[in-house]
Structure 1
Amino acid sequence: MATDTSQPRNIVIIGGGIIGCTTAYFLTRHPAFNPAIHKITLIEAQSIASGASGKAGGLLALWAYPANIVPLSYRLHAELAKEHDGPKRWGYRTVHCGSVTAKGKLYDVGKKEAVVAGTDEWKKLPKTVKGKAPPVPTEIPKELDWFDHDTIKTYSVMGTPETTAQVHPYLFTTSMAELAVEKGVEVILGLVTALDYTGPNGIKGVTYEDKATKHIHTLSATDVVVAAGPWANHVFPEAPIEAIRAHSVVIKADVSANAVFTEIDLPKDFGIKDSSGTKRRKHGKTVNPELYARPDGTIYACGEGDYAVPLPKTSDLVVCDTSRCDDIHAYLSTISPTIRDSEVVAKQACYLPLVLSGGGPIIGETGIRGLLLASGHTCWGIQNGPATGKLMSEFIFEGGAKSAHIDSLDPQNVIQTILQMPLEFQNRMAHTIDTSIDTKLAPLARSAAAVQSKLNNLSGLQIASNELFIKNILETTQETSNTIRDHSLEVQAKTSSLHRSVDQMNTLIESVSYLLQGLTAAQQSPTFSRDTTEVQAAASGLWRGLWLIISSLYVLVRAFM
C-alpha cells in the first residue's frame, strides 16, 4: 500500500536496541525523509544498547538465518563500515570461523579455583538453521595456538573472511543512534506504558513515563514501530514473543581473529572444590560455549540460555548469575590454557527475544493501522539489524518491504499461526507437564487449549446479537479466571520452588479480573448493546487481554519443560 510522504508524519520507535537504532538510522537516510515535516522520536526505557544489543557477541555471517534478509544485512554491514569508518568506530572486521569438538582436561586445579554449577541439559542458542549439513572436519588452523591442540578432536570450517565478520555490538548500536541523531532523530529516555489507539484498528500515539522526572507524557504518532526486543509484548500484548536469558563473559586476551563454536566433553572429575574445600558435584557433560576474539584484545564468550528468572520490567533489573559466568570460563579453561590464565573483565547477562512459534524474526505491519512490529531476532539481532531497519523504513515511507521478500516474517501470519495452534500441540505440552513436572499443572495447558478453542469460535462470530456476543466472551473469560485461580492455589500448596510460576499466574488472575470488571461495567451501559463500534472496541481489548493470558501460559509451560 503506497503512502503519501508529502504529509507530516510523527514516527515513534519504541526500543533503543539494535533494531530501534537501525530503524531510526535508515528512516533518516530514506530518499523520502523530509526533516521539515517528518518527526522521528526514539523512546528507550533505560539507555541505548542497555539490553542484549550491548552484551551480544557481534558475529556477522552469510550463513545465519533467515535466508531472506541475511544477505541484505551482511552487505549493509559492509557498506555502513565503509561509509562511517566501522573498523575504527565499532570494530568491524572479517574473521575466520570454525567449530571444534574437544575432550577437556584439568590442568593444575590446585592453582586456580573454578566455580561450576552446571545444568542437566545445555540450552543451546541455535546459530544455524535446523537440518543444515554439518561442516566437514579439517586440520586445526595454526593461528589457534591459544588452544591446547591435544584436547581438540576435530576442527571444522564454518565461515571464512568472505562469509563471516564481526562488530562490537555496543559500539555499533550506539553509533547507529548517534548517526540518526545527527540527522534529526530525538531520543527520549522513558518507559512506554501504553499504546494509544484510535478505535480498534488504528494507532494515534504512545504514553510513557519519563526516566528522570517520572512524569507521564503522551506523544502523538502517525506511525509506531515496536522494536523492544524481549519486551515487545510488554508494549504490544499480541506480540508472540518470549524471552530467554543468556550469560556471557569478556576475557582479557589478545589472540587471533577467530570465532569458535565448541563442543566440549568435560573431564570426568570436573567437580572442582569451592573455597571451603567442599567438592562440587562431578560433571560428565557436554557443553557448547561460543567465543569470539575481538580486535580490542579481548575474547567474548557466551554460554547456554535459561528460563530460570523471568524477564524483568527494564534492562537495568536483569539479574546476572555470576556462577553461570564462572561456568563459561571454567569450561573453556579445559581446552585453552590461555583463557584459563587470563582475567575475566566482565560478567553479564541479557535476554534474547524468541518468537513463540519458532523461527523469526517477525518484521512488518500488525494489522492495526500505523503500528509495526520488529522483534524475535534471537541471537542474530546484530547481524540482521541493518536489514530490519532498512525494511522498516520502506514500510513507513513506501508502504511495504522493497529490499527483500519477507512474507514469511509477517507478524500477522505468525500471530494467526499461534492463535490457530492445533489442540494436539497444546495437549503434548500438558503431557510433558504430566510426566516430568507436576500433574497438578497439567490442567493449565488443557485450560489454554480450551480457551483457544473458544477463542477460535468467537473470532468467527458475526456481531448480529451484541448481547449474546458479550455474554459468550464473559463466560469464556470467567471460566479462564476460575481455572487459573484454582490451579494457582494448588501450585502454591505444592512446593516453594514454584514461587516464580505462582507470581506469573497471580498476575494473570489480576488481568482477568480487570477485564471482567471493565467489560461488565460497559455491558451495563444503556447504550452499549446498541453501539456496534463500542462492542468492537471492547471485544478488541478483550481479545488482546486473552491473548496475553494465553501467551503467558505458554511461557509458563515452557519454564517447566
Structure 2
Amino acid sequence: MRTTRQSVRKNIENPPKPQHVVIVGAGITGLSTAYYLATKYNIRSVLVDWSGTIAPGASGKAAGFLARHWSDGTLTEELSHRSFYLHQELADAFGADSIQYRRLTCVAVNQSTKMKKPKRITESIKEVKLEWLDRESNELFIRSVQDMGNETNIAQVTPKLLCEKLWEEVQRRGGVLVKGRVMNAVHDDETGNFIGAKLDDGRTVRGDALLYACGPWSANIMYGIKGHAVTIPTERTLSQVVFFYNDDDDDDDGGTECEVYVRPNNTAFCTALAGELKLVTEEPGKETVEADVIDGVLEAVRGCSGTEGLLCGDPVLQSACYQPVTSDFLPVIGALSKEEAGGENCYMASGNNCWGILWGPATGECIADLIATGTTRLNIRDFNPSRFPDLKPVPQNN
C-alpha cells in the first residue's frame, strides 16, 4: 500500500486535546470517528441523530461492498486502500461472523436483452463459474464476463451489523446517543471556541469539538442519489458479487444494469435503477420506498438471473436510502473554516457517495486524528471543505 504521511495542521499552536466531541449523525462515518476517538485517544463522543437510533439511513441499508483497488489512480486511492485494511482489522477485532464480513470474488457480466443465440460461445464465457445463474435460460445471451476482483481485494460486510459493533464499543467507553436535530454550533464569544450544539428543542449539547457527519443532511452543498434494493433469499450460500449490464444500442433505457451482493446468511442484496442527483428533503430513516421502483428492480434482477435462477424468489426486505454526494463527487473531509462554522473546532466528513461503507472507517480515523492531534496519516487536501466557498452546515433543505 502506498502511504505518504501528510500533515494537516490547525492555525493554532499546540491546541489542547478535546475531551468531549459532539458528532452530528450516527451513521458509519460518525460511529467510526467516535470509535477511533475512544480507542486511540480516550476521547468521549456524544452522537446526535434525528432518528434517535444508529445507522438509520444508508449506513443501515447499503450493500456493504468493499473493493480495495477500484479507485486506483484517482484522488481516493489512498482512502480506499487504508479503509479496506481497517475493515479487515475491525473484522478481526469484532469477529468476522458477527458483522458478516468475508472475502469474495466479483465479476461483471455483459448480457444482451435480445436473448438471441450467438453463432459461437467464447471459451472464456464457458470457463467462468457463475454460481447464481440459470444457465438454461441465460447462458446463450451472455456476451462476456470480466473478472473484477478476488479474495485479495474484494470483501463484503453487512453495514448495520458493523455499525452496531462500533456503537457497542463507543458506548462501552462512555459514548452516548441523543435524539435531536442540531440547528447551529455555539461558540464562546471571547475565544471563538466551540462550546456546544443547539438542538431544535432548545437544548444545548456541550462539547469542545463538533463534527458534521450526517450524509446528505450535512450541508447545503450536499446532494443525494436515492437507491432502492430488495433482499432475496437464496437456496444456498453464494460467494460471488455480480454486476450485470448490457449495451444493446437500441434499448430505450440504454441497457439494464443490476447489482447483486450476496451475503453469508443465504440472501442476496440486489439493486438497480439508481435515482437522480437531488437535494434531500426526506428525513433519515424515513425514506419512502417507492413500489414502482421496487418492481423495476425485481424485473431487472429476474431478467438478469434467468426465469428459474437463484434470484427469482420473493423479496424478504425492501429498502431505500440516499448516497451522499457533492457536485464534484469527492468526499468532504476536514476542518471547517471560522467563516463556515461560525467559530473554531468544527469539522465535516460527508459526501462518500457509493463508497460510504468502504471509506467509513478511514474517514473516521482521519477525522479522529485531526481532532485529537491536528494531523492525518492520509493526504486529505483534495477533500478540504474550503473548496466550496458557499458551504453552510446543517440545517438545510427543511
- TM-score for both structures, normalised by structure 1: 0.60
Match of 1:144 in 2: 131
CA drift at 1:261 = 1.1
CA distance in 1: counterparts of 2:149 and 2:103, whole angstroms: 10
CA distance in 2: counterparts of 1:16 and 1:142, whole angstroms: 40
Match of 1:12 in 2: 22
- Letter of the 1:57 partner, please give it: A
Match of 2:160 in 1: 170
Match of 1:88 in 2: 97
CA distance in 1: counterparts of 2:85 and 2:277, whole angstroms: 37
Which structure has greater helix proportion? 1
CA distance in 2: counterparts of 1:257 and 1:364, whole angstroms: 37
Match of 1:318 in 2: 287
Match of 1:338 in 2: 309
Q: Which deviations, in whole Å up to 9, do the C-alpha atoms of 1:182-225 show, x marking residues without a partner?
A: 1111111222222224469653321124xxxxx43111221001
Question: Retained in 2: the 8 A contact 1:249–1:329?
Answer: yes
Greater length-normalized contact order (CA 8 Å, ≥ 6 residues apart): 2
CA distance in 2: counterparts of 1:164 and 1:218, whole angstroms: 43
Aligned positions, number: 362
Q: Aligned pair 1:248/2:229, yes or no?
A: yes
Question: Retained in 1: the 8 A contact 2:29–2:364?
Answer: yes
CA distance in 1: counterparts of 2:130 and 2:392, whole angstroms: 54
3-state SS of paired residue (1:331): helix
Q: Aligned pair 1:373/2:348, yes or no?
A: yes
- CA gap 1:139/1:383 in 2 versus in 1, 3 angstroms: farther
CA drift at 1:140 = 5.5
Question: Retained in 2: the 8 A contact 1:312–1:318?
Answer: no
- Letter of the 1:262 partner, please give it: F
Match of 1:404 in 2: 378
1:44 aligned residue (24, 31, 49): 49
CA drift at 1:334 = 1.6
Match of 1:354 in 2: 325
Question: Retained in 1: the 8 A contact 2:196–2:207?
Answer: yes
Q: Aligned pair 1:364/2:337, yes or no?
A: no
3-state SS of paired residue (1:315): coil
Question: Retained in 2: the 8 A contact 1:5–1:397?
Answer: no
- CA gap 1:163/1:376 in 2 versus in 1, 3 angstroms: same
Match of 2:109 in 1: 100
Q: Which segment is superposed worse, 139-148 or 376-385?
A: 139-148
Match of 1:293 in 2: 262
Question: Retained in 1: the 8 A contact 2:244–2:304?
Answer: no
Q: Which deviations, in whole Å up to 9, do the C-alpha atoms of 1:431-464 show, x marking residues without a partner?
A: xxxxxxxxxxxxxxxxxxxxxxxxxxxxxxxxxx
CA distance in 2: counterparts of 1:307 and 1:332, whole angstroms: 20
CA drift at 1:411 = 1.3
Share of identical aligned residues, percent? 25
Q: Aligned pair 1:391/2:356, yes or no?
A: no
- CA gap 1:384/1:138 in 2 versus in 1, 3 angstroms: farther
CA drift at 1:548 = 9.8
Q: Aligned pair 1:180/2:170, yes or no?
A: yes
- CA gap 1:370/1:330 in 2 versus in 1, 3 angstroms: same
Q: Aligned pair 1:263/2:245, yes or no?
A: yes
- Letter of the 1:302 partner, please give it: T
Match of 1:206 in 2: 197
CA distance in 1: counterparts of 2:259 and 2:347, whole angstroms: 33
CA drift at 1:285 = 4.3
Q: Which deviations, in whole Å up to 9, do the C-alpha atoms of 1:210-254 show, x marking residues without a partner?
A: xxxxx4311122100100001001xxx4xx211121111111113
3-state SS of paired residue (2:241): strand
- CA gap 1:10/1:191 in 2 versus in 1, 3 angstroms: same
1:461-472 pair list within 5 angstroms: none
2:357 aligned residue (376, 382, 396): 382
Match of 2:121 in 1: none
CA distance in 2: counterparts of 1:51 and 1:309, whole angstroms: 16
Which is higher, the Rg of structure 1 or of structure 2?
Answer: 1
CA distance in 1: counterparts of 2:287 and 2:275, whole angstroms: 13
- Letter of the 2:158 partner, please give it: H
CA distance in 1: counterparts of 2:333 and 2:216, whole angstroms: 14
- CA gap 1:41/1:265 in 2 versus in 1, 3 angstroms: same
CA distance in 1: counterparts of 2:188 and 2:213, whole angstroms: 21
3-state SS of paired residue (1:230): helix
Question: Retained in 2: the 8 A contact 1:330–1:340?
Answer: no
Question: Retained in 1: the 8 A contact 2:332–2:351?
Answer: yes
CA drift at 1:256 = 2.2
Question: Retained in 2: the 8 A contact 1:291–1:299?
Answer: yes
1:25 aligned residue (1, 13, 35): 35
Match of 1:520 in 2: none
3-state SS of paired residue (1:311): coil
- Letter of the 1:208 partner, please give it: L
1:464-543 pair list within 5 angstroms: none
Which structure has greater strand proportion? 2
